[in-house]
Amino acid sequence: AAGPRQRGRSCPWPGLPVLRWLPVLRWLPRYSRAWLQLDLIAGLTVGLTVVPQALAYAEVAGLPLQYGLYSSFMGCFVYCFLGTAKDVTLGPTAIMSLLVSSYAFHEPVYAILLAFLSGCIQLAMGLLHLGFLLDFISCPVIKGFTSAASVTISFNQVKNILGLQGIPRQFFLQVYETLRRIRETRAGDAVLGLACLAALAGLRAMKSHMPHASHTDPLAARVSYLIVWTSATARNALVVLFAGLVAYSFQAMGSQPLTLTGSIPQGLPAFRLPCFSMTIPNGTVPFGSMVEDMGVGLAVVPLMGLLETVAIAKAFASQNDYRIDPNQELLAMGFANILGSFVSSYPITGSFGRTAVNAQSGVCTPAGGLITGALVLLSLAYLTSLFYYIPKAALAAVIISAVVPMFDAEIFRMLWRVKRLDLVPLCVTFLLCFWEVQYGIVAGVLVSGILLLYSIARPPVKVSEGDVVLVQPRSSLHFPAIEYLRDTVCSHALAASPPHSVVLDCCHISSIDYTVVVGLTELLQDLRKHGISLAFCNLQDPVLKVLLSADLEGFQHFPSQEEAERCVGAELGGGGAAPSASTSESSLLPA
């Protein structure tokens, strides 16, 4: 059964504003038993993926492992009611866990408060329709960040694969200490970790190369396909379960060569407000100091959270013909993070891996998230005692397997072929993220902004010289570019002997601002002092209206380039052709 498409279908309450704020009302009245069956299967499949990943991502965030599970259910429930994409699942991710480790300082109180404040910021941005801010984060910056995060997170787990203790979390110190102490590797952890990595890679490859079964195949073939598909999809849970059984067997025999996860508190988290201060041995850290400590993280975490979710939602929406509203996604994430902080969650966002599992499992509506969230709650209530035997090497293998595909080596070659200048923000972001994540993101955005502003300030201008100088700006004209245009026109017009008149072809200019009008006024005056005339052609209506209302002295405009060149050439020859608009004194600048 096909899932509901959220565009082009009739609604029981057409035109009601509530449909915009509660997307659940678009599909709930049409919910069917067939959808329930598929949502149930998808929810259970994603649940088997999210539980081991949640434990692993809490390790990346530098928090006790139970906080990964605390962060994995509220987003599923909230997104069911407020989300616009049927495939997306909210929860802890590798990227967000890395950011939390940078801004929460491995303190649960900071992480929970960061979730609350991030949710408030996302909610405010959604209400103010500020989702367009994502457009200022370029693809090279995103690719540089995710590729650096892939390397950072993967190497951060090498210590668990090797069974090393006391390795610092700063990347460069981590590399140095790991290589220096590599002789201290625990053989049991290394063997199990590498075996888990091999198993995960094998199951992933098997799933990607597995042919699809059809209804015409024999029953045995279809059953075999289902078994292999389920095993490959739930590979994280299977590997962790196998590793746990190995660890339990060693424990029962009285020897334990593996480093275990240890005790995890059993039971559901209390529903309460996040703490707005933190008690330390020397006193109390007040709310203001905590916010100051988080610093730029209060901007980076909400934006990166939204960026992940919207990018994932758009990727899957394009396959299912429905539209994603970034502002609605902001509202969904805002409520998810705010309510999540009441149950001790750290900041969450959309997960690409689990969303892909959700889509491949045939989910029909966001209701599949209810099943996933319920499975996480059941794990918290009844299964945490079994998590004691999960080896840290197995969780490290799960993390590495999840983040390695995030490294995009192809992007470097692609940008080299398409636009080499885009390699600058990519490399700046990639390299600085190894120092500090926030520095890499901020520096990449600044470099992208500088390149964007430079292209606006130095637009391409085509200059053709003949009887007249024809100047054609190849993009819109904004105030940073007017001085560059003036210099270009004057240098070419005055270089000839005698000086040539100028025709400015404005066919690509759709709007101008006051500074541009002032600059054009000064350009007309400069050329007039040297006895050179300047004519405009192909003016679009908005630009023409602005220039006419400005009453520029010596302003001439013509409907086409050919007419402008003919009339200006006639003026040079003494013909005195009449321009399309009369001249008048400038109302902007004194003569």
For the chain, the domains span 29-261+284-406, 461-568
Q: State the pLDDT confidence band at 317, using cuts at 50, 70 and 90.
A: low
As given in the structure block, the two tokens for residue 378 are: 């059941």
Helix %, strand %, coil % for the chain, to 5? 65, 5, 30
Residue 263 has pLDDT above 60, yes or no: yes
pLDDT given at position 446: 92
* Token pair in block for residue 181: 């102490």
Comparing 301-315, 378-392, 477-491, the range with the smallest average pLDDT is 301-315
Please say whether the beta carbons of 510 and 478 come within 8 A: no
* Average pLDDT of the chain, as a whole number: 85
Q: Is the pLDDT of residue 233 over 60?
A: yes
| 18: pLDDT strictly greater than 90 | no
Three-class secondary structure of residue 216 per DSSP: coil
Predicted confidence (pLDDT) at residue 278 exceeds the cutoff of 90: yes
- Sequence-ordered list of residues with C-beta below 8 angstroms from that of 14, at least 6 positions apart, any chain: none
Residues 100, 549: Cα–Cα separation, whole Å: 55
The Cα 352–Cα 89 span in angstroms is 8
pLDDT at 17 over 60: no
In the predicted model, what is the mean pLDDT of residues 112-133?
92
Q: Tell me which of 577 and 134 has the higher pLDDT.
A: 134
Q: What is the pLDDT of residue 448?
A: 92
Q: Tell me the per-residue pLDDT of 208-221, one tens digit each, with 9 for 90 and over.
A: 777 777 777 788 88
Region 443-470: mean pLDDT is 89
pLDDT of 260 > 80? The answer is yes
pLDDT, average across residues 7-14: 43
H or E element that contains 349: strand 349-350
The CATH code that applies to domain 461-568 is 3.30.750.24
How open is the CA angle 191-195-196, to the nearest 5 degrees?
120
The proportion of the chain whose per-residue pLDDT surpasses 90, expressed as a percent, equals 42
β-pairing verdict for 469-473 and 502-505: parallel
Q: How confident is the model at residue 9, as a pLDDT?
A: 42
What does DSSP say about strands 278-280 and 90-91: parallel, antiparallel, or unpaired?
unpaired
Record the tokens describing residue 363, joined without a space. 């989910």
Q: Is 365 helix (H, G, I), strand (E, B) or coil?
A: coil
Encode pLDDT of 147-200 as tens digits.
888 898 889 889 999 999 888 878 889 899 999 999 999 999 999 999 999 999
Mean pLDDT calculated for residue range 118-139: 88
User: Looking at per-residue confidence, does 241 or 353 come out higher?
Assistant: 241
Would you say residue 585 has pLDDT above 80?
Answer: no
Return the structure tokens found at 521.
């006024």
pLDDT of residue 574: 47
151 contacts 407 by C-beta, under 8 angstroms:
yes
pTM over 0.85: no
Examine the pLDDT at 504 and tell me if it is beyond 60. Answer: yes
The pLDDT confidence band at residue 517, using thresholds 50, 70 and 90, is very high
Mean pLDDT, residues 411-421 taken together: 91
Residue 544 vs residue 577, higher pLDDT: 544
Confidence bin at 242 (pLDDT 50/70/90): very high
Name 405's Cβ contacts closer than 8 Å, sequence gap at least 6: 150
| pLDDT for 12 beyond 80 | no
- pLDDT over threshold 80, residue 368: yes
DSSP string, 29-98: GG--HHHHHHHHHHHHHHHHHHHHHHHHHHHHHTS-THHHHHTSSHHHHHHHHH-S-SS--EE--HHHHH
For residues 430-449, give the mean pLDDT.
Answer: 87
Is residue 306 over pLDDT 90?
no
pLDDT at position 576 is 40
